């Protein structure tokens, strides 16, 4: 059960709309390494996670990713509010505008709609946690690229906060992986059991 607080995790106050920047940032809303995929990935994986401590980590981070989705959506919305048709055409935002006006829609910066194919939930502890570690690094990489392309300090301030949280999540999933490997019985974990290959070959 969650308690929703009607404030953003970090304030978003963008003074200058810019549709080109919105198009760039929207990848972290519904792109392949964005916040929507992250929240769905972790909140789905937690159901089959056998260890309560790691279930808690997945729930905590998955919930926070929903908050980050809200932040990115706020950035995109504030960057596109009150744009004139001329500004929309000049920025290349017109293709998006035709389908969505200035509604916040889950898609990549290239316009590819969100798909559940971006995420994985295998039910395998080790596979899922490695997926999560990689996902956090890919999200961090996307934020790095956004910071290379966007020079609005109001946008960059929020993006830097989100980037920092990806690093914290990566560290927490590293802790989760250590917990899992400590708890798993050797007969069920190939890395610690040389006879595992013999079982697979039978």
Encode pLDDT of 52-96 as tens digits: 999 999 999 999 999 999 999 999 999 999 899 999 999 889 999
What is the sign, positive or negative, of the torsion defined by CA atoms of 119, 28, 115, 105?
positive
pLDDT at site 2: 73
Encode pLDDT of 146-177 as tens digits: 999 999 999 999 999 999 999 999 999 999 99
Instruction: List Cβ neighbours of 179 (8 Å cut-off, separation of 6 or more).
Output: 51, 53, 54
The answer on pLDDT for 194 being more than 80 is: no
Kindly report the pTM of this predicted structure.
0.90
Copy the structure tokens of residue 42. 């972790």
Distance (Å, rounded) from C-alpha 2 to C-alpha 185?
Answer: 33
- Section 7-15 average pLDDT: 96
Crossing angle between the packed helical segments 125-149 and 52-80, to the nearest 10 degrees:
20
pLDDT at site 188: 60
pLDDT at site 36: 98
Cβ proximity of 54 and 183 under 8 Å:
no
Say which residue the tokens 């069920």 belong to: 188
């Amino acid at each position: 059960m969650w308690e929703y607080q009607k404030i953003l995790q970090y304030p978003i106050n963008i003074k200058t709309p810019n549709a080109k920047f919105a198009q760039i940032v929207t990848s972290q809303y519904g792109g392949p390494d964005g916040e929507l995929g992250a929240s769905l990935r972790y909140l789905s994986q937690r159901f089959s996670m056998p260890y309560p401590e790691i279930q808690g980590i997945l729930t905590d981070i998955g919930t926070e990713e929903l908050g980050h989705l809200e932040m990115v959506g706020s950035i995109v919305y504030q960057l596109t509010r009150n744009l004139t048709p001329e500004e929309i055409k000049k920025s290349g935002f017109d293709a998006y505008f035709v389908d969505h006006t200035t509604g916040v829609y889950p898609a990549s910066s290239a316009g590819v709609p969100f798909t559940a194919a971006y995420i994985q939930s295998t039910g395998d502890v080790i596979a899922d946690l490695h997926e999560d570690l990689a996902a956090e690094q890919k999200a961090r990489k996307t934020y790095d690229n956004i910071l290379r392309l966007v020079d609005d300090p109001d946008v960059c301030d929020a993006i830097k906060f989100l980037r920092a949280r990806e690093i914290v999540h990566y560290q927490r999933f590293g802790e989760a992986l250590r917990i899992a490997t400590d708890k798993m019985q050797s007969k069920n974990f190939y890395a610690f059991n040389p006879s595992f290959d013999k079982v697979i070959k039978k």
